[in-house]
Structure 1
């Protein structure tokens, strides 16, 4: 029974890894499209700060998905290596989200002062 659970969680984990890669690839593609639209129209479609926040948010979502996959993998007979990896990913995600929130708050305050 443990082997079946391990196999299922591995498939789900791999699926989440693929989805995470697609999320980042989509965000990167959107960033490139916005850049070229700006270059063609010679008008800012998106500011550098907005681009960082948008892309960073996508990376944060990807990290959330990867963390979910790692939690699943670790849930079935975890090794100390698995637990350490999970802790590292959770720490990175938390730090990234903290700085993203700060950036979003700063952008919001800047827009409020401009209005």
Structure 2
């Protein structure tokens, strides 16, 4: 029974990682397309256009990071060793830090759009 659960959990984790890869692929393709359009159109506000493209990509990368973390948790959920728990802790810490800094940048952009100084506080994104 435990072997079957491990196999199914590994399959689900692989599916979740595949979903993360698909999200990243689509986000990069969309960002590339939008960047090419912005480059060729010579927008009246190029910095705002570039920042919007970059932050949209960052939002999707943050979503993909959550998916990959979920896959790692699934892989470690069934009878983990201390080594696996340590690796998961390190991975979770790194991904959480990446998400934190991505979210800070998104919040800063949102605050600038609203005209509030500093960019602190919570986001409504």
Please, what TM-score do these two structures have when normalized by structure 2?
0.80
Q: Which residue of 2 aligns with 1:76?
A: 78
Question: CA offsets per residue over residues 58-106 of structure 1, 9 Å max, x none?
Answer: 2211111111111111111112232122112211221122212221221
Distance 1:55 1:75 in 2: 30
Question: CA offsets per residue over residues 31-79 of structure 1, 9 Å max, x none?
Answer: 1100111123222496333233222222211111111111111111112
Distance 2:106 2:10 in 1: 35
Q: Which residue of 2 aligns with 1:40?
A: 40
List structure 1 segments (4+ residues) > 6 angstroms apart after TM superposition: none
My pick for the range that moved more, 78-87 or 37-46, is 37-46
Please, what TM-score do these two structures have when normalized by structure 1?
0.86
- Give unmatched runs, 5+ long, in structure 1: none
Residues paired across the two proteins, number:
114
- Give unmatched runs, 5+ long, in structure 2: 117-125
The alignment's C-alpha RMSD in Å is 2.0
Determine which structure has the larger helix proportion and give its number: 1
Q: Which residue of 2 aligns with 1:9?
A: 9
